[in-house]
Amino acid sequence: MNLIPTEEEALLQQSARKFLDDKASVKAFRKLRDEASTNGFDRGLWREMSEMGWAGVLVAEDSGGVGLGHRAAGVLAEEMGKTLVASPFLSSAVMAATALGTAASSESAALLPGISAGEIVVALAVDEGHKHDPAKTTLHAKPHGNGFRLNGEKSFVVDGHVADQLIVAARTSAPPTGLTLFLVDPKKKGVEIERTATVDGRNAARVRFDNVEANGDDIVGDIDGGWSILERALNAGRAALSAELTGVAAGAFGITNQYLKDRTQFGRPIGAFQALQHRAAHLYCEIEVTASAVANAGRELDRDPGAAAGAVSLAKARAIETARLAVSEGVQMHGGVGMTDEFDIGLYMKRARVGTEWLGDYAFHAERIAELRGF
């Protein structure tokens, strides 16, 4: 497996960077935040990104996508991370599209062209407590008449406040794997959505389900067969989020390294001090090492998505630690101004924190690796 970018990926990366610098700089994100956008993202921008094929990066061509694969999705996510782009890329284009594509039924396939076109947003409703742990899902779907009734509550449904459809993980048989995925229209009777503004200036939702009715056509995949589809979707999301976090780390590092050259104290640039040089150099190494794990996760998902869990967890664990180091060193090296809202480094710190918790924290992924390694 080759871990350096293919020619196609290099071109994708360059064109993405050019587009984002032009249309989706950190300044654009800051404006979005200051306007307290209730969408949490710029719909016009998302449409443009979709026109370039980004929303269909994981959707097969016969469903309206471009089908470039997970490594390509990672390339895009990393570039988006560098300038803190807010978009439903991870929720809708990566996770929902993977779930629906894996399920491969006509009902789920019907949504894929809309996702690829950026016309609809589909969000994944998985988490319940304050920690990501799909195996402990308690929201349940019980047979009722010819269909089911869903009862329970989901938390941290990213983009759930604007989603046109929700993919809901529901307990239908014994834990941990006895899950069924339901496609639920959030306008349905019994669905209550509470928008939650998050620390990074974006949005998620708490979603309550009170006797929400669903039928067989709403099932994504098979009854009790939701776990494997969910794992595929989550792993796709974790890999892309790892790439985004690596982009966040690289972005934070980029502005910090520039600050080290620009800021003068004691009559010289602070970057001339060895104490800071060594810390910056160490951070550079961590980012490089993480970038390898992220590239590998994308490649493994493209090769065999059913066997990539370890590679994905490695990428997420590494990306979490690297982003944490990058933003905390970033704020520290900026000194007092690093604490001000005016400087961008704080925005990176907040995004890194959200990416850390979303889809499993370090402990969650380290444990998956430990089990794989027989520790």
Which residues make up the interface to other proteins (CB under 8 A)?
Answer: 1-4, 257, 260-261, 268-269, 271-274, 276-278, 280-282, 284-285, 288-293, 295-296, 314, 317-318, 366-367, 369-370, 373-375
Report which of 26, 148, 163 is spatially closest to residue 95, judged by C-alpha positions: 163
Nearer to other proteins, 96 or 359 (CB): 359
d(CA 174, CA 176): 6
d(CA 225, CA 229): 7
d(CA 319, CA 66): 27
The dihedral sign for the CA sequence 300, 305, 310, 313: positive
Tokens of 63: 């469903």
Shortest distance in whole angstroms from residue 222 CB to other proteins: 33
Shortest distance in whole angstroms from residue 18 CB to other proteins: 22
Shortest distance in whole angstroms from residue 312 CB to other proteins: 12
Nearer to other proteins, 18 or 278 (CB): 278
Nearer to other proteins, 195 or 261 (CB): 261
Shortest distance in whole angstroms from residue 348 CB to other proteins: 18
Shortest distance in whole angstroms from residue 254 CB to other proteins: 10
Shortest distance in whole angstroms from residue 335 CB to other proteins: 16
Reported as type and span, the H/E element at residue 153 is strand 147-154
d(CA 64, CA 119): 12
Nearer to other proteins, 109 or 255 (CB): 255
Nearer to other proteins, 106 or 274 (CB): 274
Residues near 86 by beta carbon (within 8 Å), at least 6 away in sequence: 29, 32, 40, 41, 42, 201, 202
Q: CB burial class (10 A; 0-12, 13-18, 19+) of residue 131?
A: middle
Shortest distance in whole angstroms from residue 354 CB to other proteins: 21
Tokens of 124: 């994944």
Shortest distance in whole angstroms from residue 280 CB to other proteins: 6
CA distances from 106 to 7, 59, 76, 332 (A): 35, 14, 28, 53
Phi, psi of 264 (to 5 degrees): -110, 130
Nearer to other proteins, 3 or 337 (CB): 3
Nearer to other proteins, 34 or 288 (CB): 288
Report which of 234, 201, 204 is spatially closest to residue 315, judged by C-alpha positions: 234
Shortest distance in whole angstroms from residue 168 CB to other proteins: 32
Would residue 42 be called left, alpha or beta, if left means φ above 0 and alpha means ψ between -120 and 50 degrees? beta
Nearer to other proteins, 232 or 318 (CB): 318
Nearer to other proteins, 136 or 282 (CB): 282
Nearer to other proteins, 151 or 292 (CB): 292
Reported as type and span, the H/E element at residue 181 is strand 179-184
C-alpha 8 chain-centroid distance: 23
Shortest distance in whole angstroms from residue 279 CB to other proteins: 9
Number of Cβ within 10 Å of residue 216's Cβ equals 10
Phi, psi of 184 (to 5 degrees): -125, 130
